[in-house]
Amino acid sequence: MTSYLLITKNEKLFQNIFFVMLIGATMALITPGIEDRLGFPHYRYFQFFISHGLIVINFTVLLFVYNWQKNIRYRMLLHNFASLLVIALVLLVINIITGGNYMYLMAKPGEGTAFDLFGVWPWYLVNIFFFGIPVFFHLFYLPFFVRDYRRHKRALV
């Protein structure tokens, strides 16, 4: 998805998935759900970290090279939340059909991840929906809030 954004420079799509993709990739890098048998030096280990790392790098490029950080506003959180719900519903259907576990909708990853803070399946989905997602969205929005606050403060002087 981020490669598509880099090629097409579709800022509207960027605004609808920025927080979802960046938070998801960052959380994956911080608390990876890689099974022990797939650890270093297995191919899946490298694939996991490279792919999630590239998402973060690509969004950094989009923010600062294309200067799209100037258009990040609070309302984007709501758009991203709606996008996340649509993505989750589509992936839920795919998970049911394929037996997969994309976005960990069907089961938690192994022990020692951030999911452990939110309880057992399926209740962790409810807790993440009402508490985890809003907290992380606002946490990732904080630098942009500070930027806007400083701009507003300077405009008043």
Which DSSP string corresponds to 16-80? HHHHHHHHHHHHHHHS----GGG-TTSHHHHHHHHHHHHHHHHHHHHHHTS-GGGG--THHHHHH
Percent of the chain with pLDDT over 70: 96
Q: What per-residue confidence (pLDDT) applies to 90?
A: 96
Q: What per-residue confidence (pLDDT) applies to 40?
A: 79
The helix/strand/coil state of 83 is helix
What one-letter code names the amino acid at 63?
Answer: L
| pLDDT at 157 > cutoff 90 | no
Q: What average pLDDT does this structure show over 23-47? A: 81
Q: What per-residue confidence (pLDDT) applies to 24?
A: 87
- pTM for the structure as a whole: 0.79
Encode pLDDT of 122-140 as tens digits: 898 999 889 989 999 999 9
Q: Which residues have CB under 8 Å from 103's CB, separation 6+?
A: 24, 87, 88, 91
Encode pLDDT of 77-129 as tens digits: 988 999 899 999 999 999 999 999 888 899 887 777 777 888 888 898 999 88
CA separation for the pair 67, 65 (Å, rounded): 5
CA separation for the pair 94, 92 (Å, rounded): 5
- Alpha-carbon distances of 127 from 71, 97, 133, 134, rounded to whole Å: 30, 25, 9, 11
More confident residue, 114 or 27: 27
